[in-house]
Amino acid sequence: MDEKIRFDIEFPIHASPQLVYQYISTPSGLSEWFSDNVNSRGELFTFIWDDSEEQAKLVSKKSDERVKFRWLADEDDKSVFFEIKIQVDEITKDVSLIVTDFAEEDEVDESKMLWENQIASLKQVLGSA
């Protein structure tokens, strides 16, 4: 298996950290923008798209700040995860989302584009587009 490469993308977002956190940390919030449906049992989240399903474990979370998941398919490599972090500029109070993810070298651009589309959907749901 090829080694996955880490990438980070920042997205400015016009919404409160508390509101954004609800959309990135709960099954109902995630199903509004990330996938068609999301179910959870404790730390295990099942993401459903059309006819496919992926499971991820909630590795860590901090209220109004960040969530970190690991796809079960990547469970053997503990260094691979995806994280959505809410960052607030102390001076301007501008809110940004920092997405950290991993992809194989030839799939990094595609993964970044996927995140751009996902976050665009989130902004639409939040009314901050």
For the segment 37-51, the average pLDDT, to the nearest whole number, is: 94
Whole-prediction pTM = 0.93
47: confidence class by pLDDT, cuts 50, 70, 90: very high
Amino acid letter for position 72: L
pLDDT at 90: 94
pLDDT at 78: 80
Domains delineated in the chain:
4-126 (3.30.530.20)
What is the bridge-based pairing of β-strands 44-49 and 66-71? unpaired
Nearest Cα residue to 27 out of 64, 62, 70, 56: 56
129: confidence class by pLDDT, cuts 50, 70, 90: low
Q: What is the DSSP letter of 15?
A: S
- The whole-angstrom separation of Cα 4 and Cα 129 is 31
Side by side, the strands of the sheet bearing 44-49 are 4-13, 95-104, 82-88, 66-71, 52-62, 44-49, 37-41
**Residue 118 pLDDT exceeds 90:** yes
- What tokens appear for 115 in the block? 């995140």
Report in angstroms the alpha-carbon separations of 7 from 2, 28, 73, 119: 16, 27, 19, 15
